[in-house]
Amino acid sequence: MPHKAFPGRYPDTRLRRPRQAAWSRRLVAEHVLSVDDLIWPVFVIDGNGRKEPVKSMPGVMRLSCDRLIEAVGDAAALGIPAIAIFPFVDPALKTPDCREALNRDNLVCRAVRAVKAAHPDMGVLADVALDPFNSAGHDGIVRDGRVVNDETVAVLCRQAVVQAEAGCDIVAPSDMMDGRVGAIRRALDRAGSVDVQILSYAAKYASAFYGPFRDAVGSAAALKGDKKTYQMDPANADEALREVAMDIAEGADMVMVKPGLPYLDVLRRVKDTFAMPTFAYHTSGEYAMLKAAAGQGWLDGEQALLEVLTGFKRAGADGILTYAAPEAARLILDKCPGTGAG
């Protein structure tokens, strides 16, 4: 008898049979990538009528609020369910205490209000982290050369409340400070924002794949040192489960693994262990590599993009943050009309 893990033998069993036709491949597909899986990270900049390319991220733009509203309208028409807003902050507004992060009229808050006014059904996410507002480029407050935990958490709580008041549907602590999820949940609840969701960057690694993002938000030039004292060691996977478990216990509604491709094993373990809504971030460096290779003609960029995103789904991702969300949505809709919105 064949082993239970191998229920057939050639020639009686031919595994190529279901692969012969497109309709058959669709019927037996184990994982399906949908427009509903996509979150689009966008970069916003001060001013009007502005559209600036991010040189290290081909096809990605920094947009002023008016141009952002147009772009979000296009994304909504494709069925993309949510965006994530990241600011390019004027260097003159960056300070050691990150006070601009608490300004109710800062760039993030203005962008959130503008998008929600124009597209109320679009989900809007904002990072809770201080690096865009920090003159030291770090995700937390720096004292004597050290990123301090508890003082940072106190500021993050106020930042999350400000973002929720502006209309954010999801706040996303990406700072990796200990205890921040629980503190933010309590702060939101006290402020009356009990329905605002928390997407925790629960397993965020000290990665080399963030460089283009730091260019896009303007934190690269300001960053002093590295982020290894608070972001995770790429060598560790068991530790990621502890991080996720703590964030869930503190009230996270969803958790994320970042980066994506180098950490598919972590993503799979998180999903299998906790059965929580689990997200992956197709980071700026991953995106830039794909675009650079496609630009040189070394690979089929469209096919590679869909393969990467499907890989996230296969590893357990319920949602994927990717700068290629509009492109991916169009490819998905072209391939299977009717997939996505509605």
Which tokens belong to 323?
């700068």
Catalytic one among 94, 116, 258, 291?
Answer: 258
Beta bridge partners of 143: 146
Global pTM? 0.94
The percentage of the chain sitting over the pLDDT mark of 90, rounded to a whole number, equals: 92
Average pLDDT of the residues in 100-112: 98
pLDDT at 107 over 60: yes
Integer angstrom CA distances of residue 180 from 140, 206, 252, 278: 11, 18, 10, 19
Fill in the amino acid letter for 72. V
pLDDT tens string 21-30: 999 999 999 9
Q: Residue 225: what pLDDT? A: 86
User: What is the C-alpha to C-alpha distance for residues 161 and 65, in angstroms, rounded to an integer?
Assistant: 21
pLDDT at 228 over 50: yes
pLDDT at 163 over 90: yes
Q: Residue 340: what pLDDT? A: 47
- H helix and E strand count, the chain: 11, 12
Average pLDDT of the residues in 246-269: 98
Kind plus residue range of the DSSP H or E element containing 83 = strand 82-88
How much of the chain is helix, strand and coil, in % rounded to 5? 45, 20, 40
pLDDT at 63 over 70: yes
pLDDT tens string 120-132: 999 999 999 999 9
Fill in the amino acid letter for 102. L
Q: Residue 341: what pLDDT? A: 47
Average pLDDT of the residues in 270-287: 98
Q: Which of 91-105, 130-144, 217-231, 272-286 has the lowest mean pLDDT?
A: 217-231
Check whether the bond before 11 is cis (ω within 30° of 0). yes
Q: Residue 1: what pLDDT? A: 44
Q: Residue 223: what pLDDT? A: 86
Q: Residue 219: what pLDDT? A: 86
The reply to whether CATH 3.20.20.70 applies to domain 31-335 is yes
Distant-in-sequence, close-in-space partners of 149: CB < 8 Å, separation ≥ 6: 140, 177, 178, 179, 230
Average pLDDT of the residues in 282-306: 97
User: What is the C-alpha to C-alpha distance for residues 22 and 266, in angstroms, rounded to an integer?
Assistant: 32
Integer angstrom CA distances of residue 148 from 132, 206, 209, 230: 17, 17, 24, 10
Q: Is 313 a catalytic residue?
A: no
* Domain ranges for the chain: 31-335
- Average pLDDT of the chain is 95
Chain length of the chain: 342
Integer angstrom CA distances of residue 290 from 67, 80, 96, 207, 313: 26, 21, 35, 17, 18
User: What is the C-alpha to C-alpha distance for residues 76 and 126, in angstroms, rounded to an integer?
Assistant: 18
The alpha carbon of residue 244 and the mean position of all alpha carbons in its chain are separated, in whole angstroms, by 16
Average pLDDT of the residues in 7-16: 88
Q: Write out the DSSP string of 150-218.
A: HHHHHHHHHHHHHHHHHT-SEEEE-S--TTHHHHHHHHHHHTT-TT-EEEEEEEEB--GGGHHHHHHHT
User: What is the C-alpha to C-alpha distance for residues 38 and 270, in angstroms, rounded to an integer?
Assistant: 19
pLDDT at 337 over 60: no
Q: Write out the DSSP string of 202-270.
A: EEEB--GGGHHHHHHHT-TTT--S-STTTSBPTT-SHHHHHHHHHHHHTT-SEEEEESSGGGHHHHHHH
174 touches 127 (CB < 8 A): yes
Catalytic one among 204, 227, 271, 291?
Answer: 204
Q: Residue 3: what pLDDT? A: 54
290 touches 297 (CB < 8 A): no
Confidence of residue 222 (pLDDT cuts 50, 70, 90): confident
Distant-in-sequence, close-in-space partners of 111: CB < 8 Å, separation ≥ 6: 44, 65, 68, 85, 87
Confidence of residue 8 (pLDDT cuts 50, 70, 90): confident
Average pLDDT of the residues in 155-180: 98
Q: Is 94 a catalytic residue?
A: no
